[in-house]
Structure formats: structure tokens, C-alpha cells
Amino acid sequence: MPQLLAINNENPQQRYLARAAEMLRDGAVIAFPTDSCYALACHLGDKEALDRIRAIREVDDRHHLTLMCRDLSEIAKYARVDNAQYRLLKAATPGSYVFILEGTKELPRRVMHPKRKTIGLRVPDHPVALALLDELGEPLLTTTLQLPGHEAPLTEGWEIQDALSGRIELILDGGQCGTDPTTVIDLTGTVPVLVRQGRGPLEPFGLNAE
């Protein structure tokens, strides 16, 4: 049964953040709230934890995972960003977006799309997510906590605990979380391309709703 810690969404308890960061460094898979919905996360360098997340989601290596970063400078370390892309990122971060970008050599090959060499990146707008990133001191490899066969992400800590017993180690329980996923924008081409419409508005990208 994963450990469940009731975390304050506005002023996250430092001891819980420290516990989560320690467990991530030791190979744990955790769940935590974001500005869209709950996410699963592991340490970027941990292959076994990555494989466990893919098994939980039942996705292969062609499914884009998301590198959750603290700020734009961190995104620029792990993705190739030109001036036009940077302006778009600056206008929309932090926020409920994932941006598909070409990865840099700082990323392990196993976390990128095997053919396109791309990855999703985002800067969340949520106190718990940002505080956890600050405590860890590096990005997190994440994915939406939506289980196979479920029409929507799980929204309560106790639901996650029941559904993923024996499969993850820790839940930072911020109470009921949203069910709208992030908006996913592919920025690898000459113009932004909408991959998935979610919580993030489309106006900054000149895109129309589907």
C-alpha cells in the first residue's frame, strides 16, 4: 500500500517534500497534484522506475512522457529552443501545457520518442509541484495519472491508493484534483500544432479549438 501524505496545496509541508524527494532519488514512483490533474513521477535517471510508469499506463516508448521543469531556463537545458519557440514558451508558462520539443544530449535516449527524439516539457502552475521540483533540484519525469480503461484521471488520493496498491510508493494527497489534462502543443515544426486540447487556453498559439 503506498504511503499517503495529506499535503497542503497552498503551503506544502517541507517534511513531506523532503520525504518525496528522498524517495524519488531512491527509485520510487510517486503521485502528486498539478495544475491540471494528478501525475505519476519518477527520477529522470531511473530506468526501472520509468519502466514501471510505462507499465502502469500501458504505453510504449513512442508515448511522449513529460519532463516537468521549474522554469524556462531548465527547459532550455533539456530541449532545443529557438527564439520563436522561446517567445511562445514565455507567454504560456507556467501553465497547464505540455510542449513537444526536440531533446538535447542532456536527456537519456530512453525517455525520448525513439524516432523523433522528442519529449514533452512543461512548467506547472501549482504550489505542490513547484515546491517538489525545488526540493529535488532537478526536473521530474511525469505522466498524467490516467489508468488504462478509465475515461478520466483519478481525482482523489484514496482512489489512487486503492488503484495502485503495490505499484507506487508515495502519494502527496492534495485532495480532489482536476480531470482536465494539459493542452499539448507540438512546437517542432514551423507553426504550433495542437496535439491535445486540455485546460490550457489556445489563444497564445493562434490555434482554434477542435
Provide the whole-model pTM. 0.95
Of 90, 78, 196, residue with least CA distance to 138: 78
* Stated length of the chain: 210
Query: Does an H or E element contain 48, and which?
Result: helix 47-57
Amino acid sitting at position 44: L
What share of residues in the chain are helix, strand, coil (percent, to 5)? 30, 20, 50
Asked if 209 contacts 203 with a C-beta cutoff of 8 angstroms, the reply is no
State the angle between helix axes of 127-136 and 14-25 in degrees (0 to 180), rounded to the nearest 10: 60
User: How far is it, in rounded angstroms, from Cα 50 to Cα 37?
Assistant: 20
**pLDDT tens-place string over residues 78-131:** 999 999 999 999 999 999 999 999 999 999 999 999 999 999 999 999 999 999
User: How far is it, in rounded angstroms, from Cα 196 to Cα 153?
Assistant: 15
> How large a percentage of the chain has pLDDT more than 70?
99
